Structure 1
């Protein structure tokens, strides 16, 4: 069993017995690895957002927080792989790491048979990358956090005319255009909405200040951009 399969198996096992505990020694024996390896696996799962907690003591162990776990999901293998493909193709989009975390949680909540079928199907779907493909520029985590919590950003920015400036902005939305991702924000220096191409941001600082809540409709972009179509959650 490789590490990825072992991580999924550990989550599924803890989910099945929750709220009871499973010791690191028991998990190590079940998966044929050392206790130290299990501890590293648990730490990796916790860092990725899986709600595993440790109960220390002689009878302690690990458990999955029942209120934070999902019941078995009736996702088909094709549905799970469709989500994986969408996440892989949107690797430079907002909250890409959160998408990977969500997919891991979905697989962990699926039945073992369905999850195995999804992994087998995923192995038969590949994304080809030619030599001309340009590696996508990931959205800075500071921008994601700013949009999520409406936090003011301090930017060092190089505009299309080559002018360099430092300014503070209140984030409004993320837009996608022909030149990649843009941050639509209210520029406090100009006191008007502006689009900032993410690949032109040379330095960025996330401040503790919360900006004014504004909608896209309230802010007409100063620089033409094709807005990404509305994202639907069903």
Structure 2
């Protein structure tokens, strides 16, 4: 099972992290969600934080469903950042009865083909890692994913999480493939969705957020003029207020 934290009572909210980070990225939101009257869960995907790398073919979406089953949570609000948002979309598409609402922060999307900026980033990261320059790859991620509002403490926090993920993943002795479940049909999503994008983010994620209202039956797009790719860390109080307002409307405690 995915390593996770769970606390509080009330409607369940599951926080899904970006792959630049781990479940610690939600430290700023955790107490506010508890104080608002929710049961709050956060988890580490495989190879991040305290969850080991996979030892057999796996699916992040299935991992999330298995975690909900183990916690006996029938229905949940999903709050996902970046790759966590992509996983949230897949969970909501495969098991729409399990997801009550979706708050997506600069989310990826199943089936999205990377544009030139995202391909260039991936190529540069691969080149640095293949050369053994892990520190260089960490700093590349900081430059790419954190917007101008991120302070030094936030940069250090993300630096620590990204370095830990690289150390865990590079130490793995074999590359375990993901399970091929087929591309999910986003048209099956029934949950209301808030798709947040950042003005300073890569074009891929801005385009995904703008496109989701054309694909989902009840979705709205909000662009933050100050944000990069990780708004919940760049301006945590403001982003937390946006999440809480959306949950109060669609998933009230």
With normalisation by structure 2, the TM-score equals 0.23
Q: Which structure has more RCO (C-alpha within 8 Å, separation ≥ 6)?
A: 2
With normalisation by structure 1, the TM-score equals 0.24
